[in-house]
Chain A
Amino acid sequence: MSSVTVLQGAGFDGAIEIRDAGLLGMITLRGDLASPTLNAAVKTATGTAPPEMGQIVHADAQSCAWMSPDELMIFAPYAQADEITAQITGDLADHHALAVNVSDARAVFDLSGNAIRDVLSKGTPVDLSPDALGLNVVRRTRLGQVAVAFWFTSETTARLVCFRSVGAYMLTWLSTAADPAAQVDYH
């Protein structure tokens, strides 16, 4: 049986373009983020040191996002997720830490266009002005009625992650908020 994303390629073109990011490896790592061993394990897995609080760092095909004071999320090619999870688990065998492959538990959206900040503003209390939310700042918050994380990779591109179980709702919500007849032109 082959893996599929919950969106199965669905998207929407309106005030912004909404795309299924496709199968993506995601590994949740919980542990002491100050531990040199944990930091070394992340560097082996991603090629980069973990990010500062609230940030995401990118290196080649991998990224690493700060999710909470004891949690990172590693993004990698889908096919490598199990291998990376095993490598981190091995590196941290003697530590109080946990790495889990959650690739199939999430839905990932790629957003592009000039109105991303306007569209997201319709459903989250976060201040989305460029001064308040710069590039590669991971913001975990509420969008519509569900928990999401999003970050801007450029002024016109952003990535958004939510739980797989609400992926279809999220696509409907985003498509409604991006209705061309309901543009805000604020940001």
Chain B
Amino acid sequence: MLHLTCPNCGQMVDETDLHAGGQAHITRHGAGASDADFEDYLFMRKNPKGVHFERWRHVYGCGKWFHAARCTTTLQVFGTYSAQTLTPPKPLITKIKKLRPEWEGFEK
């Protein structure tokens, strides 16, 4: 069972109160982009065994989006943070590096 703390309303909520929004921090290539960039944006996603950054929406609660960093194999949650950012916050990256020294770091 996955529990995440919504940074918008402060509540620790169950996965069934949430809607999964997929991989976080993807670049949204739109009109005028190359075919390769547009294909990347539409279809190409990471599928890591380990640290993953995701978008979630607190759909049954405050209704707001947020970001979460978690481990896809153990469900360990490293942290949740605002949706209004293009990259994970530095303190969170530092925290994950400490917990998972083998992690290659955040890559877009």
Interface residues of A (CB under 8 A from B): 53-54, 67-69, 71, 125-126, 139-142, 147
Contact = CB atoms under 8 A, between A and B. Distances in A.
B63 A141 contact: no
Given A68-B63, A147-B60, A54 B10 contact: yes
A53 B60 contact: no
Contacts of B14: 125-126
A68 B64 CA distance: 8
B9 A53 contact: yes
For B11, B60, B63, which residue has the most chain A Cβ atoms within 10 angstroms?
A: B60
A69 B11 CA distance: 12
Contacts of A53: 9-10
Contacts of A67: 62
Interface residues on chain B, size class: 10 to 19
Nearest to A137: B11
Interface in B1-37: 8-11, 13-14, 16-17
Contacts of B63: 68, 71
Contact of B13 (A68, A71, A141, A147): A141
A166 to B, nearest CB: 13
B105 interface: no
A69 B63 CA distance: 9
B35 to A, nearest CB: 39
20 contacts: A53-B9, A54-B9, A67-B62, A68-B61, A68-B62, A68-B63, A68-B64, A69-B8, A71-B62, A71-B63, A125-B13, A125-B14, A125-B16, A125-B17, A140-B61, A141-B13, A141-B60, A141-B61, A142-B16, A142-B60
Contacts of A126: 14
Given A140-B61, A141-B61, A147-B60, A68 B16 contact: no
A153 B16 CA distance: 26
Interface of A is mostly: strand
Given A125-B14, A141-B17, A142-B16, A69 B64 contact: yes
A98 to B, nearest CB: 15
Contacts of B8: 68-69
Contacts of A141: 13, 17, 60-61
A67 B11 CA distance: 12
Given A125-B14, A125-B17, A69 B60 contact: no
A56 to B, nearest CB: 14
Given A68-B63, A140-B62, A54 B11 contact: yes
A42 B14 CA distance: 32
